[in-house]
Structure 1
Amino acid sequence: MSAAVRTGGTSDGHGRLGSKLSGLAVAVGCVLFLGGFVFGAILYQPYTVPTDSMAPTVDAGNRVLAQRIDGGDVRRGDVVVFKDEVWGDLPMVKRVVGVGGDKVACCDKQGRLTVNGKPVAESYLPKGEPASPSDFDTSVPKGNLFLLGDHRSTSQDSRVHMADGDHGSVPRGAVNARVEGTAWPLDGFGMLAQATPFEDLPGGISEPGPLRSIFLAVVAGAVLILGGAAYGPLARRSGRSRKGRAGVRTA
């Protein structure tokens, strides 16, 4: 007489648990991945920089991501996207070096920009170049911003508009976004460095936006989706394999 004893409950349970964990990982991944994209699309907008006026911070042809902000939130050092009819019909990308009430001048004996008499060591400028190839000295009207490109030898910025009524500055309301990172090309992908040269001036500098957190959420979501989708079939296959090995036949 023979008897067959098969114990497969543990193996079946392992497979079901694996399937549940796989489904949970995919679900959480979808929330992070899609939520990150939706949240990013609400807060940020892409721009293509057409010239090298912001090099080496942003090169010509780079695709940047800019956080939608109100012009009242702009601080010195911010790289902003703005549109002003005096400057032209297209959006432009420049760096804010002076706000309303500031006295902006260049250059001191070391070739540096000064704001309210305080020299600013602009580390983002091309190495070895002065803060401006030509001297200037102006006061920024209240509610306005004085804007310069980082590549001062080629940038068409507030310096060329100083004969205008607002001394080359633009209203805060002309700004609609602040650049936080470069999305394309991939070898230039990353966040813009904070404008630390301005942090000791009254008002300080802007805090980073949520772009880094959004990016991490999208990446984590993609990893969970791919990992969960792969783990489910592997767990079921492992469960069937264990179930087969668990069968015991005795005589």
Structure 2
Amino acid sequence: MWGFIKELLVIVLCALALSLILKTFVFQSFWIPSASMDPTLQENDRILVTKWRPDPLDLRRGDIVVFKDPGGWLPTVPEDTDDTELEAFGKTVLTFTGLLPEDAGTHLVKRVVGLPGETVVCCDADGNITIDGEPLDETYLPSDVDPSLSEFETTVPEGYIWVMGDNRANSADSRAHVGNPGGGSVPIDSIVGTAFATVWPLSHFHGIGNPYEDPDVVTD
């Protein structure tokens, strides 16, 4: 019996170690906490993000990125008081190793619109967002969705990106934080990874690509 228990422990520890390695260097799962990326990503979808973009792969306009709260973007999430200490510990271990998706209390999911050094403006005479004076073709937005209901003009600092949710009327993105340090832009260093697939629920399973055939890139 003891030999069986030891073998089981070894298997469990190896599985945890492998999961931690994958989470750290390859990919990580996240829950979509809100409708701000609807209809591209729906609330409570589970997505996978590659840890290889940005660095060593290039970050591109149109990528959907998961990033840590730069500060003041998310409300304080109350602790779950229904869990026992053992349940809370178990969830912490499973989340740390990547077997549970990261909680929604510390990360956000948005689309890259502006890259470092670019001037992003809303909007031109046709109602389009412009990048350095050129209209941005946002084919991922539904036909009845305006690129932005609020006007803005910003130059993205070096080392930062300008992000927006696809659900433009219901997304507290860079536009809502122009008064914050960075002018609403997000530090590239805070990006955890780039979404490449929706994996749950199965009815929503699909790959997530970049909408631009020849996207601009930025290396950090």
Q: What TM-score, normalized by structure 2, do the two folds share?
A: 0.69
Which residue type is aligned with residue 53 of structure 1?
S
State the partner residue of 1:62: 45
SS at match of 2:161: strand
State the partner residue of 2:122: 106
More helix by share: 1
Which residue type is aligned with residue 137 of structure 1?
E
State the partner residue of 2:64: 79
Task: Report the Cα offset of residue 129 of structure 1.
Answer: 1.4
**What pairs up with 1:60-209 in 2 under 5 angstroms?**
60-69=43-52, 71-72=54-55, 73-83=58-68, 84-88=70-74, 90-196=106-212, 199=214, 201=216, 203=217
- Dislocated runs of 4+, deviation >3 Å: 37-42, 69-73
Quick one: percent identity of the two aligned structures? Answer: 37
Q: What is the RMSD of the two structures over their aligned residues, measured on CA atoms? A: 2.4
CA distance in 2, matches of 1:70, 1:86: 25
Contact 2:60 2:215 (8 Å CA) reproduced: no
Gaps of 5+ in 1: 1-33, 205-251
Contact 2:54 2:194 (8 Å CA) reproduced: no
SS at match of 1:153: helix
SS at match of 2:130: strand
CA distance in 2, matches of 1:110, 1:124: 17
Q: What TM-score, normalized by structure 1, do the two folds share?
A: 0.61
Give the number of the structure whose alpha-carbon radius of gyration is greater: 1
Which residue type is aligned with residue 57 of structure 1?
T
Gaps of 5+ in 2: 1-14, 75-104
Once the two structures are superposed, residues 197-236 of structure 1 have per-residue CA deviations (whole angstroms, 9 ceiling, x without a partner) of 7x354x38xxxxxxxxxxxxxxxxxxxxxxxxxxxxxxxx
